[in-house]
Structure 1
Amino acid sequence: MHAKQKPSKILIIALWTAQGILAIIFLWAGYMKLIQHDDFPFLWGKENPGLVTLTGIIDLAAAVGILVPSSLRIFPWISILASYGIVALMLTAAIFHVSRGEAADIGFNIFMAFLALYVIWGRARLQRRS
């Protein structure tokens, strides 16, 4: 019989860092889109105010979902689902930007998607060990 191996402290720190970065960025994005919408700096926002509101709500849900369940250890698998949602959101955003001729602007979307993929991998790995 094998004893359960403790997760690496580096893995745990890196996961919390990734989740914190995602949460902060999505809180900021949701705030900008819902509260400071008049100051929203992107042209697509002025052309699509309904889309700004919708994505602001999604951004806030992502921020809460990526951090709160894992922090409280209540249904931590929700953080994994939130990460999948972030990947889907970032891929959709990248497609949206490419369709508008803004392909040069998708680097941030790709980075955020990879950060969320890391959270999916790391949180799933930790759940298998517990």
Structure 2
Amino acid sequence: MDIAYWIVAGLLAVFYLYAGGTKVVQSQEQLAPMMAWAGTTIPMAGVRAIGVLEVAGALGLVLPRLTGVLPGLAVAAAIGLTVLQVLALGFHASRGETKDLWLNGVLVVVGAVAVWLAVATA
């Protein structure tokens, strides 16, 4: 079960480090082709905040378990990232962006699996 957690958490961490890092460092113009909502519907400060939360969540999935310092934070990180994707799913659905909802749905499911594995292996 521990190996399953590391596989799921590692995949999520890589995804969120990339996605969050992109939101943190790229300009509105650079984000526009991928995220039309960035800087228009959501101000850039909000986009940056989402990016910081994603990066923090990615680190929270891995570092506490890796170091043995407060390993329960991995559960909190997995819950937080899952909630973030549920909210993203609702946001994108409200904007009619139905062609990309599958990714949010997959991330909700994988996040829920990470929560379950984090609790089961804690």
TM more than 0.5: yes
Deviations 1:42-95 (A, max 9, x none): 100141322211111111111111111011111111000111101110000000
Cross-structure match for 2:65:
70
Cross-structure match for 1:88:
83
Q: Secondary structure at the match of 1:43?
A: coil
After TM superposition, the structure 1 stretch with the greater mean CA deviation from structure 2, 43-52 or 82-91, is: 43-52
Structure 1 unaligned spans of 5+: 1-10
Cross-structure match for 1:58:
53
Q: 1:119 aligns with which of 102, 114, 117?
A: 114
Cross-structure match for 1:28:
18
- One-letter amino acid of the counterpart of residue 16, structure 1: W
Confirm or deny: 8 A CA contact 1:69 1:76 kept in the other structure: yes
Aligned partners of 2:98, 2:71: CA distance in 1, in Å? 35
Structure 2 unaligned spans of 5+: none
Aligned partners of 1:22, 1:123: CA distance in 2, in Å? 13
Cross-structure match for 1:16:
6
- One-letter amino acid of the counterpart of residue 82, structure 1: A
Confirm or deny: 8 A CA contact 1:94 1:103 kept in the other structure: no
Superposition RMSD on alpha carbons, in Å? 1.3
Confirm or deny: 8 A CA contact 2:8 2:114 kept in the other structure: yes
Q: How many residues align?
A: 117
Confirm or deny: 8 A CA contact 1:45 1:52 kept in the other structure: yes
Q: Secondary structure at the match of 1:21?
A: helix
- One-letter amino acid of the counterpart of residue 19, structure 2: A
Confirm or deny: 8 A CA contact 1:19 1:67 kept in the other structure: yes
Q: Secondary structure at the match of 1:121?
A: helix
Confirm or deny: 8 A CA contact 2:21 2:52 kept in the other structure: no
TM-score by length of 1: 0.83
Q: Which of the two has higher C-alpha Rg?
A: 1
TM-score by length of 2: 0.88
Aligned partners of 1:87, 1:29: CA distance in 2, in Å? 15
